[in-house]
Structure 1
Amino acid sequence: MTYRLLRLILSLVAYVTLRPQVVGLHNVPRRGPVILASNHLSFLDSVIIPLVVPRHITFIAKAEYFTGRGLKGRLSRWFFTTMGHIPVDRDDPRAGQRSLQDALRVLERGGAFGIYPEGTRSRDGKLHPGHTGVAWLALAGHATVVPVALVGTDKVQPVGRRLPRPARGIQVRFGAPIDPSRQIAAGVRPAQARRELTDHVMASIHTMSGQALADH
């Protein structure tokens, strides 16, 4: 109930102040395991996507959002816990694999999981190569992948800015669903299959976002 109330309040605020344009929402399955794989331009991305998708989307969030002190720390912990996000300690070398296991459990329950294949926010506005964790999850969780392209969130809340500023021009574009089982040719090695599937996802994001590609 708390999640629904929080989502309703944030949705009203977002649509009044930002008026995000949503394209291709019909591509998101209404039930069953699904991965929303998006580019990452701003902290705002993890707020906007759950607000426009009529499903509970779980994201990975850095552990600092759950461990802060004082009023700000308590508010942050309440918000990310209420949204159902999963904390990950980025200083732990094993945290990445554990977070994938947590995400896999979400998919095994038939849930929706949001992931940024680039691994972190783009600081130069370019689209960087995707890590193959998204493909590992899709294959292990038998989950459809829906590419997502965010446009304009970096203008509303650039990297380093604490609070978003009221602005228009945000777009959330959902691409055609990708069935991982159909992307793998017979005899392809698992590592190569994960790379090819990840590249397919990133190519779809690139087409929709129009971002320049990073050199590496």
Structure 2
Amino acid sequence: MFYWVMKHVLVGPLLRLAFRPWTKGVENVPATGGAILASNHLAVIDSFVLPLVLERQVQFLGKSDYFTGTGVKGRLVAGFMRGVGTIPVDRSGGKASEAALRTGLRVLAEGELFGIYPEGTRSPDGRLYRGKTGVARLALESGAPVIPVAMVGTDVAQPLGKVIPKPMPIGVVIGEPLDFSRYKGMENDRFVLRSVTDEIMYAILRLSDQEYVDVYAATAKARIAAGLPIDAKPGRPAASPTPPTPPAAGETDAR
């Protein structure tokens, strides 16, 4: 109920007025059942604009710091994040990735939409960076379809370092669902995970028409901060080794 009020009464109307979002491919999001929305990540407002254009609720992960603030401001931030469907996750420590995975699996098992940014962090320069394989693990372990999403223009409305975004039209392009059920049971094969991730990133690339850089966004940010070149040629997701095909029922793997 709180989510509905936030989207349709409190926050949603203001966001629609400010950004006048245009969409393409919204019909590719299933009306029911769990699905993974894998999007490029250009600005903080991505997590607010994408749910705005869909009928169904989308749940994203957010650092737990957003929910532990004190005073009036802390309570307002926590209430806002909960209202837009953000799930708190402790991102510190070595078990952060596993906690995020388990949270995503729970959301999908409940038949909900789970939003994820395969790049792991916002793009430092508007280009699309190498995807982390967590999205592939999530897809293979859950069996849920992956729906590629491209946010368009949010980096112009809210460049890195800008807190209050500039009102302007922005877009959301949604591609056809990707089915990776052929790799069921192979979520621990690193070659399979890399191949699936690259396929997802290529689907996002086709929708967004961004320039692709085969470096992790976090690495690129660290190099930029240190005054070093990113050292990667633009292009498209690198071709990964072809994953082995699982043996058919009644057959054995002779390798």
Q: Please give the TM-score of this superposition, normalised by the length of structure 1.
A: 0.93
Ranges in structure 1 where 5+ consecutive residues have no aligned partner: none
Secondary structure of the 1:159 match is: coil
> What amino acid sits opposite 1:35 in the alignment?
I
Moved over 4 A (4+): 185-189
What are the superposed Cα offsets for residues 147-204 of structure 1, whole Å, 9 maximum, x if unpaired? 0000100111112111122112x1100011101114x499997222221111111001
Corresponding residue for residue 103 of structure 1: 104
Contact 1:34-1:107 at 8 Å conserved across structures: yes
**Max Rg structure:** 2
**Per-residue deviation at 1:12?**
1.7
- Shift in Å, 1:91: 2.3
Matched residue type, 1:120: T
Partner in structure 2 of residue 214 of structure 1:
213
Aligned residues of 1:33 and 1:108 also touching (Cα < 8 A): yes
1:187–1:138: structure 2 CA closer, same or farther, 3 Å change rule?
closer
How far has the Cα of 1:113 moved from its partner? 0.2
Question: How far apart are the structure 2 equivalents of 1:86 and 1:158?
Answer: 24
Alignment of 1:17-166 (within 5 A): 17-166=18-167
8 Å contact 1:88–1:96 — kept in the other structure?
A: no
- Seen in structure 2, the aligned counterparts of structure 1 residues 135 and 90 have a Cα distance that, compared at 3 Å, is same
Shift of 1:69: 2.2
Is the counterpart of residue 194 in structure 1 residue 176 in structure 2?
A: no
What percent of counterpart residues are identical? 45
Cα deviation, residue 88, structure 1: 2.1
Q: Assess if the C-alpha contact under 8 Å between 2:141 and 2:185 holds in 1.
A: no
Q: Report the more deviating stretch, 186-195 or 19-28.
A: 186-195
Aligned partner of residue 81 in structure 1, secondary structure: helix
Aligned to 1:177: 177
1:71 shift after superposition: 2.1
From the superposition, tell whether residues 189 and 74 of structure 1 become closer, same or farther in structure 2 (CA, over 3 Å): closer
Structure-2 separation of matches of 1:124 and 1:104: 31
Judged with a 3 Å threshold, the aligned counterparts in structure 2 of structure 1 residues 174 and 187 are, in CA distance, closer, same or farther, namely closer
1:4-15 alignment runs, 5 A limit: 4-9=4-9, 10-15=11-16
Does the residue aligned with 1:164 lie in a helix, a strand or coil? coil
Write the distance in 2 (CA, Å) between the matches of 1:103 and 1:189: 17
CA spacing shift, 1:164–1:187, aligned 2, 3 Å: closer
Distance in 2 separating the partners of 1:47 and 1:152: 14
SS at match of 1:59: strand
Give, as a single letter, the amino acid of the residue that structure 2 aligns with 1:137: L
Post-superposition offset of 1:130: 0.6
| 1:21 counterpart letter in structure 2 | W
Count of residues in correspondence between the two structures: 214
Ranked by relative contact order (alpha carbons within 8 Å, sequence separation 6 or more), the top structure is 1
Q: Tell me, which stretches of 5 or more residues in structure 2 are unaligned?
A: 216-255
